[in-house]
Amino acid sequence: MLDTINFVDLIALSRITPEATVERFGGLINSSFFDASNILGTLKQKGLVDFITSFPSQSSLTLTIDGKQLLEEAKQKSSLSLDTLDMAVLVSLSNGKRNLQDLAQGVNVTPKDLAMHLFKLSEQQFISYELRNGSVGMALTEKGFLQVKTGMPMPGAQVQPPVQQVQQVQQASQNVGQPVAPSTTPGPSQPVQQAKLQQQAPKTDEDLRQLEAKIVAAKRTKGIIVLLIILVLAAIFGYLYLLHYI
C-alpha cells in the first residue's frame, strides 16, 4: 500500500498540524470540502492518517505511525544532493509536463519514488507547485531552470573553482601579444646560430644607420637596373618596328 503513495499524499501529510481537523482540512490544502474528503479517505485507506469523529464538535485529525515515518523519510531525503532521477524530473518539467500524471509517464518510476524526489526538489526550491481541488500543478523555479541548463557534472570529472577559472582567463589575456621565450635547452646547432646572429646584428647606432643606408642604396640600385632593362627592351622593340616598315 505504501508503494502507491503519490506527491499529493505527501503534500497533504505535510499540511497536517496538531490542531488540524477534518472539517477544516480543505482550507489547508486549498481544496473544497469534497476534494479534501477524498484525499483524507485515500490517506485513511493507506494507513497514513487517523481521525476521531466527535459530535457535535469537529473531528480531530492525526498522523499514524506509518504517516509520521513516511514524512520523516521524505524530509531526510530532501537534504540529499541532486541525482540522476532529480535531473530527469527537472528536464521533464522543462519540456512542459506540469501535472503529476504526465510527469509520471515521462520518468516512469513508482509513485512513491517520484513523490520523494518531487518533495526533495520542492524543499530545495528547484520547483514550485500549487495544490488546488485535489490536483497539483508544478513548474520550475529560476534555480531549477538554471540547473537544467547547467546539467550534472560527469562522474569523476574535476570541476575547477570559479576563482581558478577567472585567474586562468586573466593570465591568458595578459600573455596575449607577449613574445615567446626561447627554449632554455639549446639544441645541437643553437650555439652556432646564436654566434651568427650576434655577428650580423648591428652593435651601435652608427652600424644601424650604415645598414639602413646600404638597404636604401640596394633598393635604388635595383630600381635603376629595372628601369634600364625596360628602356633597352623598348629600344629593341622600336628598332624592330622600324625595320618592319622600311
30: left (phi over 0), alpha (psi -120 to 50) or beta: left
Tell me if 61 sits within 8 A of 67, measured CB to CB: no
Q: What is the CATH number of domain 2-148?
A: 1.10.10.10
Alpha carbon of 243 to those of 115, 153, 163: distances in Å? 108, 88, 86
Give the angle subtended at the CA of 178 by the CAs of 172 and 179, to the nearest 5°.
130
Domain residue spans in the chain?
2-148, 197-245
> 107 CB contacts (<8 Å, ≥6 apart)?
85, 88, 89, 92, 114
pLDDT at 113: 94
Residues of the chain with confidence (pLDDT) below 50: 154, 156-163, 166, 169, 180, 182-188, 197
Question: Which helix (DSSP H) or strand (DSSP E) does residue 135 occupy?
Answer: strand 135-140
pLDDT at 162: 45
pLDDT at 154: 47
Nearest to 127 by CA among 101, 102, 112, 146: 146
Task: Kindly give the interhelix angle for 65-77 and 111-123, rounded to the nearest 10 degrees.
Answer: 60
State pTM to two decimals.
0.60
pLDDT at 239: 72
> 232 CB contacts (<8 Å, ≥6 apart)?
none
Q: What are phi and psi of 138, to 5 degrees?
A: -125, 155
